Structure 1
């Protein structure tokens, strides 16, 4: 949560600062690239602490669309192809149960873009809401056990820079922090919460229209 609070404070500060217009109201941008979802190093535990949860990262193609509702202010939607994560459930003796899941993490953000004639890069910052839906969960135990991760809704912070190489095109490098926790069920019984809370690092090509 401290990481998310830091991004939110930076966002509030950015909204109070003045700069030249980065893009006029009515402008659209489209971005195509790749995102790496890196879950927090501590993903919590289940079964009253008997099993520690560890979720690995994944890279997938991403697409963003942003509409500038006012000069400098845009509303962006992030979408991606499904991410796949291997999950390890470990007990105190070192025994490991393997599992996996897939998810889609659409994220809607309000963003502020900085600009200036002498700025070689165009930074931006934003805050929004993430909805993550999990599917195709599996746990590798005998007897047909059923694993289920509940969908998650949480706050998402966003920072990045656009590096222009033409009047309407840029390379974007960005990072998001998502407040993402999912209730875990095994055979329809609640067993705890997976605290995923990932950073999402991205690189993309962006074009303004």
Structure 2
């Protein structure tokens, strides 16, 4: 192969790589669908320890601007054991989120797309042990994440989130506020349409 052919091949390869990078940028109008496996760890306290749980969560987002998106997410029911009071007390917690997300590299030719989000969480409680009652509640939520773009339509995703979740409860004639404050970390895939 001559130097001219080698140089021509390098130029074509570089331009194809540049074109593929441009196609991988997040832009206004994109729809982002995420599916993740996550571990959630409610805070509790020494007297009210609560077990960690793993499960699936997902979201659908819409890029309203190259750098801003809104997303609606939810997860399966996470079953937690409440280690205060009667042995074996448990409940299930199902989160739903509405988030505004900022993508600092949105619109740019970057394979790595970090993001930060802030929004509202609604948590539904169910299947509480006999005598335990937890009120469904709204709470503020924040998240940090990153997408590693693999193709025009597929990325790997990793994230961490925090929900400031204080829940009113009653248990066997006693009532108060349970400070759950779950930290959730996870990873999965993002589909971009």
Whether TM exceeds 0.5 here: the answer is yes
More strand by share: 1
More helix by share: 2
**Ranges in structure 2 where 5+ consecutive residues have no aligned partner:** 1-23
Root-mean-square deviation (Å):
1.9
Is it true that 1:129 corresponds to 2:120 in the alignment?
A: yes
Deviation at 1:201, TM superposition (A): 0.6
Q: Could you tell which deviates more after superposition, 194-203 or 24-33? A: 24-33
TM-score, L = length of structure 1: 0.75
**For each residue in 1:133-165, what CA deviation from the matched residue of structure 2 results, as whole angstroms up to 9, or x when unmatched?**
101000xxxxxx521011121110010111111
**For each residue in 1:42-88, what CA deviation from the matched residue of structure 2 results, as whole angstroms up to 9, or x when unmatched?**
x248xxxxxx2111111111111001122211101111111100110
Aligned residues: 168
List structure 1 runs of 4+ shifted beyond 3 angstroms: none
2:75 aligns with 80
Deviation at 1:22, TM superposition (A): 4.6
2:158 aligns with 173
Rg: which structure is higher? 2
How many angstroms apart in 1 are the aligned matches of 2:175 and 2:62? 41
TM-score, L = length of structure 2: 0.81
How many angstroms apart in 1 are the aligned matches of 2:94 and 2:118? 19
**For each residue in 1:152-186, what CA deviation from the matched residue of structure 2 results, as whole angstroms up to 9, or x when unmatched?**
21110010111111122110000110011111112
> 8 Å contact 1:22–1:72 — kept in the other structure?
no
Is it true that 1:105 corresponds to 2:105 in the alignment?
A: no
1:159 aligns with 144
